[in-house]
A and B are shown apart, each in its own frame.
Chain A
Amino acid sequence: MTPCFNEMFQNDAVRPPYSGLQGWSADMPADRRLAKQAEAEALFRRIGITFAVYGEGGDPDRLIPFDMFPRVFTGAEWAKLERGIKQRARALNAFLVDVYGRGEIVRARRIPAKLVYQNAAYEKSVCGFVPPKGVYSHIVGVDIVRTGPGEFYVLEDNCRTPSGVSYMLESREMMMRMFPDLFRENRIQPIDSYPEKLRRTLASVAPAKCDHAPTVVILTPGHFNSAYYEHSFLADLMGVELVEGADLFVDGAFVYMRTTEGPKRVDVIYRRLDDAYIDPLCFRPDSMLGVPGLMDVYRSGGVSICSAPGAGVADDKAVYTYVPEMVRFYLGEEPILNNVPTWKCSDASDFKYVTENLAELVVKEVHGSGGYGMLVGPKSTKAQVEEFRTLIHANPSNYIAQPTLALSTTPTFVEEGIAPRHVDLRPYCLVGERIELVPGGLTRVALREGSLVVNSSQGGGVKDTWVLAE
Chain B
Amino acid sequence: MLSRTADNLYWIARNMERAETVARLLEVGARMSLLPTAQGYRSDWDSLLRASGNATGYGAKYGAPDQALIEDYLFFDRDNPNSVASCLTRARENGRIVRTALTTQVWDALNTAFQELRQIEAQPRATLELSRLTDWVMRHAAMVRGAIDATLLRNDGYNFLNIGYYLERGDSTARLMDVKYYVLLPKADYVGSGLDNDQWSMLLRAMSAHRAFHWAYGGEITSAKIADFLILNPQCPRSLITCVAGMNNHLGRVAKAYGRETAAQAAAAAMLAELESQSAEKIFDEGLHEFLTRFIGEAAALGTVIHNTYLSGDMQ
- Interface, chain A (partner B; CB < 8 A): 45-48, 223, 228, 232-233, 235-236, 241-244, 246-247, 257-263
Contact = CB atoms under 8 A, between A and B. Distances in A.
Contact of A247 (B2, B96, B112): B2
A191 to B, nearest CB: 20
Interface of B: 1-6, 93, 96-97, 99-100, 104, 107-108, 111-112, 115, 156, 160, 254, 258, 310-311, 313-316
A263 B316 CA distance: 7
A263 B108 CA distance: 32
A262 B4 contact: no
A263 B313 CA distance: 9
10 contacts: A45-B115, A46-B111, A241-B2, A243-B2, A246-B4, A258-B315, A259-B3, A260-B315, A261-B315, A263-B316
A259 B100 contact: no
A247 B111 contact: no
A247 B97 CA distance: 13
Contacts of A261: 258, 315
B115 A259 contact: no
A260 B156 contact: yes
Main secondary structure of the interface of A (DSSP, over half): mixed
B97 to A, nearest CB: 5
Secondary structure type dominating chain B contacts: helix
Instruction: Identify which of B111, B115, B254, B313 gathers the most chain A CB atoms within 10 Å of its CB.
Output: B313
Residue among B99, B104, B160 with max Cβ neighbours from chain A (10 Å): B99
Nearest to B92: A48
A263 B315 CA distance: 8
Given A232-B100, A235-B100, A236-B99, A259 B112 contact: no
Contact of A223 (B1, B2, B97, B115): B97
Contacts of B3: 247, 258-260
Contacts of B97: 223
Contacts of A228: 96
A258 B4 contact: yes
Q: Which of A45, A246, A261, A262 has the most CB of B within 10 A?
A: A261
Contacts of B160: 260
Contacts of A223: 93, 96-97
A4 B107 CA distance: 44
A330 B104 CA distance: 46
A315 to B, nearest CB: 29
Nearest to B4: A247
A258 B156 CA distance: 15
B99 A244 contact: no
Given A232-B99, A258-B313, A262-B315, A48 B2 contact: no
Contacts of A236: 99-100
A48 B99 CA distance: 10
Contacts of B100: 232, 235-236, 241-242
Contact of B1 (A45, A232, A235, A260): A260
B111 A258 contact: no
A233 B99 CA distance: 8
A46 B108 contact: yes
A46 B112 contact: yes
A63 B91 CA distance: 21
A244 B99 CA distance: 14
Contacts of A242: 100
Given A236-B99, A241-B2, A244-B4, A260 B310 contact: yes
B182 to A, nearest CB: 38
A272 to B, nearest CB: 14
Contact of A48 (B6, B111, B313, B314): B111
A247 B108 contact: no
B302 to A, nearest CB: 17
Nearest to B159: A260
A247 B313 CA distance: 8
B96 A260 contact: no
Top 5 A-B pairs, shortest CB-CB distance = A258-B313, A232-B99, A236-B100, A260-B310, A223-B97
Given A223-B97, A232-B100, A258-B315, A48 B107 contact: yes
Given A260-B2, A260-B3, 10 more contacts: A46-B115, A48-B96, A223-B96, A228-B96, A232-B96, A233-B99, A244-B4, A247-B4, A247-B313, A260-B258
